[in-house]
Structure 1
Amino acid sequence: MNDLFGPAPALEPIPMIDADVTFMHGFYRQPHTGFLLQALLREIAWRQETIRLWDKEYLQPRLSAWYGDAGARYTYSGSTFEPHAWTETLMGIKEDIEALSGHRFNSVLCNLYRNERDSVSWHSDNEAEFGEQPVIASLSLGETRVFKLRHKRRKDQKRIALELTDGSLLIMAGATQQHWQHAVEKERGPCGPRINLTFRNIVLPRAAIIRATP
């Protein structure tokens, strides 16, 4: 981790029922966050994917790319994505997050929010490939955006809004994806680019695990 200005603060729990969410500002710090942002803007194979909703196709309001170990396929909205091979930058970030969190990841979804009009709608990361209680580590670089969470059934639970600042790290674990949805909605005012990296662990088929074992 970047320690130019002393040790990074610890992950702090966010008080939520039916969830295990921790957060920290300053996992990476300037100027290192700026270097990482520019490297990822250059290196990642960004593209605007389509999603299928109610038998219609729409362009996603952001750019994205899927990276990971061989065989770590990801199916979303009727499309299956084969992973690009890890870049040196992504691998370094992955290893830093693994060292802090104690969790291991074999894939990452890269999202580029180009401006205030880019967003991601309400959803849960509960696809079968992630297992029953997935751990998702979300690193933000660039412009601050508001990350919102809402309980799927408990109307008495207030929505939560977190400012995902440059270099911040959010980890969702346990039953979070079963009970909560999250979103990054459009901003009303001008907003610069933000990259979000969500590291995940795809549960690989047993045959793929055997082939990958040396």
Structure 2
Amino acid sequence: MNLFGDAAFFDPGRKQYKDFELPDTELRLWQQFFSKEESDHYFGHLLANSPWQQRKRKMYDKTVLDPRLTAYYGGPNGLEWTPELLAIKAKVEAECGHIFNRVLLNYYRDGSDSVSWHSDTLPADGKHHHIASVTFGDTRLFKVRHKFRKDITQFEIPLTHGSFLLMGETMQDFYEHHVPKTARPVGPRINLTFRISDFKKSNN
């Protein structure tokens, strides 16, 4: 089934990548890392089979719902890995050379779902690691800005169906990112962020 665009977009060069020349970190994008068939399959499977939840968070004196749905796998508090997630993880690890032990899934149902400016939380071992971000579904903009240097222009990356974005170890120390809301018609998107955590230290 042709869910997202023309299959001709997914050409044999899909594993070619682009390095962004950023101060203080590394950022690499494989725009067509997964094939059209793989991307359609994983999107459909994850959408139908993930136990999506809408988390609550405190904002000032109110409790609000996150503007997206999530599912969390791996580690002592996460769900058990599925064969599909393990297959995605293995392909990402083989390409980038990093081994991940947990994954956060974010489901953006339409253009009103988003994530605000943030840097990812520091893991329990006290240092940031590489984060692998995989997208299945409609394209959304991933915006990036430096935390401290105003001379570095904010920029955006369209994350497409089957793309893989690798954030370097220092990305969270020096940069923030977000996925803004959009008024244009946009379909569902599932994003997976593969991470590294020291569960032994986090349980002390």
CA distance in 1, matches of 2:68, 2:30: 25
TM-score normalized by structure 1? 0.85
Displaced runs of 4 or more, over 6 A? none
Task: Answer yes or no: is the 8 Å Cα contact 1:131–1:203 preserved in 2.
Answer: no
Aligned to 2:32: 26
Map 1:11-50 onto structure 2 (within 5 A).
Answer: 11-50=17-56
Aligned to 1:96: 91
Task: Answer yes or no: is the 8 Å Cα contact 1:63–1:112 preserved in 2.
Answer: yes
C-alpha RMSD of matched pairs (Å): 1.7
Aligned to 2:3: none
User: Which of these residues, 128, 138, 145, is aligned with residue 143 of structure 1?
Assistant: 138
2:34 aligned partner, one-letter code: Y
CA distance in 2, matches of 1:159, 1:49: 29
Structure 2 residue 177 is the aligned partner of structure 1 residue 171:
no
Residue by residue over 1:34-77, the C-alpha shift from the partner in whole angstroms, topping out at 9 and shown as x without a partner, is: 111000011111011111233431100000011014x2xxxxxx
- Deviation of 1:128 after TM superposition, in Å, equals 3.0
Map 1:3-82 onto structure 2 (within 5 A).
Answer: 5-6=11-12, 8-69=14-75, 71=76, 82=77
Give unmatched runs, 5+ long, in structure 2.
1-9
CA distance in 2, matches of 1:46, 1:7: 33
- The 3-state SS of whatever aligns with 1:129 is coil
CA distance in 2, matches of 1:51, 1:207: 22
Aligned pair in 2 of structure 1 residues 206, 161: CA closer, same or farther (>3 Å)? closer
- Deviation of 1:19 after TM superposition, in Å, equals 1.4
Aligned to 1:155: 150
Aligned pair in 2 of structure 1 residues 55, 174: CA closer, same or farther (>3 Å)? same
CA distance in 1, matches of 2:64, 2:127: 29
Task: Answer yes or no: is the 8 Å Cα contact 2:125–2:201 preserved in 1.
Answer: no
Task: Answer yes or no: is the 8 Å Cα contact 2:120–2:172 preserved in 1.
Answer: yes
Aligned pair in 2 of structure 1 residues 24, 130: CA closer, same or farther (>3 Å)? farther
TM-score normalized by structure 2? 0.89
CA distance in 2, matches of 1:46, 1:123: 22
- Deviation of 1:117 after TM superposition, in Å, equals 0.3
Task: Answer yes or no: is the 8 Å Cα contact 1:138–1:169 preserved in 2.
Answer: yes
2:12 aligned partner, one-letter code: G
User: Which of these residues, 120, 125, 132, is aligned with residue 127 of structure 2?
Assistant: 132
- Deviation of 1:84 after TM superposition, in Å, equals 0.5
Aligned to 1:85: 80
Aligned pair in 2 of structure 1 residues 50, 207: CA closer, same or farther (>3 Å)? closer
Task: Answer yes or no: is the 8 Å Cα contact 2:133–2:191 preserved in 1.
Answer: yes
Structure 2 residue 190 is the aligned partner of structure 1 residue 199:
no
CA distance in 2, matches of 1:178, 1:21: 13
- Deviation of 1:133 after TM superposition, in Å, equals 2.8
